[in-house]
A and B are shown apart, each in its own frame.
Chain A
């Protein structure tokens, strides 16, 4: 039961979705559509599961007064307050002027964009400390990087009028060829793995170590 049922579910769902792609008959398409609707709903539940797990772990750490527990307490408080405010607003929760949209703009949006913007500093530091041209291949990489970095911004035209054209040519010809090779190789890998999962050969989720 523990291994066979998940395997059956996976194989049945996979084969149905695969067949549904090719067979437009209503008898197949009806179930095909139903299965996909179910997946949308089940994936939504995984978001809730993630939140529940986060809450469980952090509440436990606060209770045990683990390292950095005041920060964990702040995390739990932020989570619960956000949820309480959101649910109290009802379907207008994201409308302009609501408390929930204020939380989104003030906390979520600002911190999310700032976290990503930190990377600019690290890429500059890494360019100095780690980018070493020691081989022909690295030299090719560096030349391509230079042409792109300078050719794709307005200053490229000032440095040399051919730089933007060189950047465009590089993107459309040699870069394109290599990326296409990677794309096709990856496609073969994904298709092979997909068939393995659908045919029940790949069963990582059915392992005894629990919970997939």
Chain B
């Protein structure tokens, strides 16, 4: 069993959160609120030492006129303008920094999604539909191409899903169901893994009954 006070506190907090499984109770509520408070405090400290100081304050105060550092006044001003949200008469000013963010991210995502999730995926789907001497690969390629096309047909809602289109969309649904089932299986794995990790902490770090 551990003699470290930190491990004991962590273990008690862990059990406090697990107590929610029986029913909601004061111990769980306290842990929940402590977690939110500590997280928020941690994020602010981290943000200051990881971003604000090295990327903004140090360049501005140590070399203001070098490497266009004087332009950093702009993000500093925009960052301060965010806090105008707390003042009803001035809260419209907070739209300026938000507008900067809302302009940059879509632009990055247009090119990122366009290249990574569209063009490259089309490239990956251009597969030989006859692989000489490998029937398995041939069938696999047909399924990959056919599955993609029928899935895309399912998501085409500009025309009613009847006739051949409806039949293709139905096959697309079957492929989608297989993918959802696979996702469900992996989700189960993920959730159980996280519990195993926590149990390992309790048994190994706290109680010392598990040897790794």
Direct contact of A and B (CB under 8 A): yes
- Which B residues are in CB contact (< 8 Å) with A9? 96, 99-100, 103
Interface size on A, residues (CB 8 A): 127
**A residues bordering B, Cβ < 8 Å?**
2, 5-7, 9-18, 21, 30, 34-56, 68, 71-72, 74-83, 86-87, 91, 93-94, 100, 102-123, 127, 137-138, 140-149, 152-153, 169-188, 190-191, 193-195, 197-198, 205-206, 210-212
**Contact indicator A148/B99 (Cβ below 8 Å):** no
Closest A-B pairs by Cβ, 10 of them: A177-B147, A144-B181, A148-B185, A82-B41, A181-B151, A78-B37, A86-B45, A45-B79, A13-B103, A194-B106
Interface size class of B (residues with CB under 8 A): 35 or more
Contact of A71 among B29, B78, B80, B180 (CB under 8 A): B29
CB nearest to A56 among chain B residues: B86
In the bound complex, CA of A54 to CA of B72 (Å) = 27
* With A56-B86, A83-B44, A181-B148 as contacts: A111 and B35 at CB distance below 8 Å: yes
Q: Is the interface of A mostly helix, strand, loop or mixed?
A: helix
Contact of B182 among A13, A49, A54, A171 (CB under 8 A): A171
**Contact indicator A212/B185 (Cβ below 8 Å):** no
In the bound complex, CA of A180 to CA of B143 (Å) = 12
B167: Cβ under 8 A from any A Cβ = no
- Which A residues are in CB contact (< 8 Å) with B107? 13-18, 21, 194, 198
What's the nearest-Cβ distance from chain A to residue B70, in Å?
11
- Which A residues are in CB contact (< 8 Å) with B185? 144-149, 152
* With A87-B48, A111-B35, A145-B185 as contacts: A45 and B41 at CB distance below 8 Å: no
